[in-house]
Structure 1
Amino acid sequence: MYDKLVVLAERAERVRGQVATEEATKTALVLPFIRELGYDIFNPSEVIPEFTADVGIKRGEKVDFAICRDGQPIILIECKPVGSKLESYSSQLYRYFSTTHARIAILTDGIRYSFFSDLHDRNKLDETAFFSFSLDRLHKDDAIRIEQFAKPQFNLDQLLIEAESLKCRSNIRSHFAREIANPSDEFVRHFADSQHEGRITQSVLDRYRLLVKSALADYIASAVERRLQGALGVRNEVSVSESVPDSTKLSPADIEPAKLDDKQDKDDDIETTVEELQGLFAVKAILRDIVDPKRVTARDVRSYFGILLDDNNRKPICRLWFNRTQKYLGIFDSEKKEERIPLDDIDDLFTHAERIKQSLSHVLESPVAT
């Protein structure tokens, strides 16, 4: 399934600029996805376009596709034009969902896919998706989950169990992220109870809040560095721990959603991967003798992971195109034209160290000697 999705993702990247309408999205992107799931898109008893889902006194309400089994819809699919803000259309899918026997509903723009069910109240679409993925941010774990929706593997009971588990894990992750960013009194009290003697007052909680937040940040930074050391090892007689000092460990300023001029939109579901973090630290290591590593920052967008000088979008150092099977390093010439170099793995960044330094030289006030 992963290989099939990669081919679909490559196709989507080629045609997305030509897909301007909802109908074009269905034809060019969504129908090929349904076909890769093993459903016969030319069999009107298996894939029904414009499936009637009348709502109350409103007649003629139609959902874009219904995938059926034994004459009953099992998956509803509502499509929107590429680039649409899908969250704005979940209420429309909610209306359709309550009128059918389907327990799975998909909202998509042909690139991003959000999967919903009725885990909270039967026959009422949940407000949030239990699983989402994007073709331009494809992971192998996504392919494993998507395969469960394929015709040969489709088992509703197992799917709903997995959906409940996915939703639970997602909620826990979100809750944990909020606690890391701003620890609540309850969260802080859990740690203060084991450390503080005496009554825990609000002033005690406030003091421990800073300690808890700092300790969590240290732990996460250490975990990332250990992963980097394992992945990168020693290259050019410099280890990651030597090339990335404590003062340059990842902070919120190092990575943020993009504010770019090149039509890359900010999006809440952008996820920075471990490989991209490894790449950032590798570039910091390569450039450590030229610029302070703290000046080398990153902005993550859907298509690529951008590495910048001074967090300035007009000072691009390189781009990491790691969201596809074939990875690329993007470097820039003096006119900021990008050249993409194929990579086999993260270590290849060190092979192209001189090219990365040269790319940096174009955005430095003083030329870099290479």
Structure 2
Amino acid sequence: MEIAERAQALALKIRKHKADIATEEATKNAFVMPFISTVLGYDVFNPSEVIPEFTADVGTKKGEKIDYAIAHGGQVQVLIEVKKISDPLRIEHASQLFRYFAVTNARIAILTNGETYEFYTDLDAPNRMDAKPFLVLDLADIDETLLPELAKLTKESFDLDSVISAAGELKYIGQLKRILAAQFKQPEDEWVRFLTTRVYEGSFTQRVRDQFVPLVSKAARQFLNEQVNDRLKNALGGPDAYVSVSTEMPVEPEPESRPVDVDDVVTTEEELEGYRIVRAIVCSEVAAARIVARDTKTYFGVLLDDNNRKPIARLWFNRSRKYLGVFDENKVETRMPITDTEDIYRHADQLRKTVARYLAKAMDLGPVPPVEDVPV
């Protein structure tokens, strides 16, 4: 499984159980240890790889502990300090990381609450941890452009030199992206003035400012939607695909008996999440690139080779009761009721056997034995 699928699987777990976690220790057990083991690939029960309650005396401070140290090649490379998941991360939380960073060989320090991971190094001064992270990974809203850099810290692909060399660029790109996101959400006066003076020739008065603040916000939202639409169109079948992404509050879908207008197709994040889960499951049988999504008004389809005759699953999410559509050897669909997208994993065997049947037929290997009914 690729790092993107591993991160998404953990993100789903966090979303499902976050409300049940109330302490730092519970945060470690439920979310941080799975991050170290599942996402980064280290054996949390092997003390030569992961050292819990790591101790390194710092000056007059003796016996202080940091939550985890990750070793690679016999040397401590990464330090991790954990706070409970309900605590927003602040630099004040990193005091022990600052002290330990200076007296160990570690070049990477991580401050986390189990959902957000802030990665630090020593760009500003050697052996002194920076005050600002060079990478921020938020599992509630994963920026997939960061995952290749995260992969360089995994056990199987550890490349510290590459991470450090890219850290400077990542640090400033990350900060710029967060500033842009804030401006798109609630533009400051300087941002409104900057854009307004490029389209309006008069003086930038208070009246003009009041007029353009909502226009700038609206233009920003429309621009982002258009960019997302373009990416989804490519993912769902090229420039002729019909996709609409809305920033408004979701509404109850119209009854299926109403006429369907392809311009009204709305692809939700939940549907994309379900698609990624199906793809992760069947990747054991076929290359991920062959698993294609195709959205419609009534359901979100997952196909093999973008072929309507090779349906793998249908996600019936545009209704109050959600269903996963699975197919038997005769391509007869059965809708399985599910509560959330994680329930798709309960039908993993059937999804894999569906793909295996198509592959066997293509190779003239004969039929695959029929799938037994999967309990709900």
Normalising by the residue count of structure 1, what TM-score does the alignment of the two structures yield? 0.56
Cα distance in 2 for partners of 1:133, 1:195 equals 36
- Structure-2 separation of matches of 1:354 and 1:196: 47
Pairing 1:184–2:191 present: no
Change (3 A) 1:287 1:232: farther
Please show how residues 203-222 of structure 1 align to structure 2 within 5 Å.
203-222=207-226
3-state SS in 2 of match to 1:324: helix
Indicate the RMSD between aligned Cα atoms, in angstroms: 5.2
Counterpart in the other structure of 2:77: 74
In structure 2, what is the equivalent of residue 250 of structure 1?
246
Partner of 1:116: 120
Q: Is the CA contact 1:65–1:77 (under 8 Å) kept in the aligned structure 2?
A: yes
- Take 1:51 and 1:225, find their aligned partners in 2: how far apart are those partners? 47
* Cα deviation code 1:156-215 (max 9, x no counterpart): 443123222222222111211222233333323333333333544343344333333333
- Match for 1:177: what amino acid? A
2:298 matched to 1:345?
Answer: no
2:14 matches 1:2? no
Alpha-carbon spacing, 1:100–1:79, altered in 2? closer, same or farther (3 Å): same
Aligned length: 290
* SS of aligned partner of 1:345: strand
Alignment equivalent of 1:87, drawn from 71, 74, 89: 89
Unpaired runs of 5+ in structure 2?
282-290, 302-312, 323-376
Equivalent residue for 1:321? 274
Q: 1:289 aligns with which of 249, 252, 258?
A: 258
Provide the residue aligned with 1:261 in structure 2. none
Kindly provide the amino acid, as one letter, of the partner of residue 345 in structure 1.
A
* Counterpart amino acid of residue 90 in structure 1: A
Query: Larger deviation: 183-192 or 8-17?
Result: 8-17
Q: 1:96 to 1:284 in 2, by over 3 A?
A: farther
User: 1:66 and 1:250 mapped to 2: Cα distance?
Assistant: 43
Q: Are the aligned partners of 2:40 and 2:153 in contact in 1 as well (CA < 8 Å)?
A: no
- Post-superposition CA distance 1:279-321 (Å, at most 9, x none): x9xx968869399xxxx99997xxxx39xxxxxxxxxxxx953
After TM superposition, list the pairs within 5 Å mapping 1:224-303 onto structure 2: 224-232=228-236, 240=242, 250-251=246-247, 253-254=248-249, 289=258
Shift of 1:24: 4.3
1:132-162 Cα distance to aligned partner (Å, 9 max, x none): 253x876765542222113564444431232
Residue in structure 1 matching 2:131, options 119, 126, 137: 126
Whether the 8 Å CA contact 1:73–1:101 is kept in 2: the answer is yes
Matches within 5 A, 1:31-110: 32-33=37-38, 36=41, 42=46, 44=48, 47-68=50-71, 72-79=75-82, 83=85, 85=87, 87=89, 89-108=93-112
Deviates more, 1:344-353 or 1:18-27: 18-27
TM-score of the pair, normalised by structure 2: 0.55
TM-fit CA distance, 1:61: 0.7
Counterparts of 1:6-21 in structure 2, within 5 Å, are 6=6, 9=9, 13=13, 21=26
How far 1:9 moved relative to its partner? Answer: 4.0
Distance 2:46 2:318 in 1: 54
**Distance change >3 Å, CA 157–CA 121, structure 1 → 2:** same
CA 1:191–1:78: 2 relative to 1, 3 Å: closer
SS at match of 2:187: coil
User: Between the two proteins, what is the percent identity of the paired residues?
Assistant: 28
Aligned equivalents of 2:154, 2:101: Cα separation in 1: 20
Q: Residue by residue, what CA displacement relative to the aligned partner does 1:213-245 show, whole Å, maximum 9, x if unpaired?
A: 3332332333334444444469xxx9747xx6x
- Partner of 2:164, secondary structure, is helix
Alignment of 1:190-209 (within 5 A): 190-209=194-213
Where 2:225 maps in the other structure, the secondary structure is helix
Asked whether the 8 Å contact 1:64–1:78 carries over to 2, the reply is yes
Quickly say closer, same or farther: Cα 1:202–1:150, change in 2 above 3 A. Answer: same
Relative to structure 1, the CA distance from residue 198 to residue 327 in structure 2 (aligned partners, 3 Å threshold; closer, same or farther) is: same
Report the 3-state secondary structure (helix = DSSP H, G, I; strand = E; otherwise coil) of the residue aligned with 2:293. coil
Q: Counterparts of 1:53 and 1:321 in 2: how far apart (Å)?
A: 44
Uncovered stretches (5+) of structure 1, i.e. residues with no partner = 256-279, 307-318, 329-342, 362-370
Partners of 1:115 and 1:131 within 8 A in 2: yes
**Residue-by-residue CA offset, 1:32-89 (whole Å, 9 max, x unaligned):** 348725x896463x654433233442210122333346765321123456x4536264
Distance 1:192 1:320 in 2: 38
Secondary structure, counterpart of 2:180 in structure 1: helix
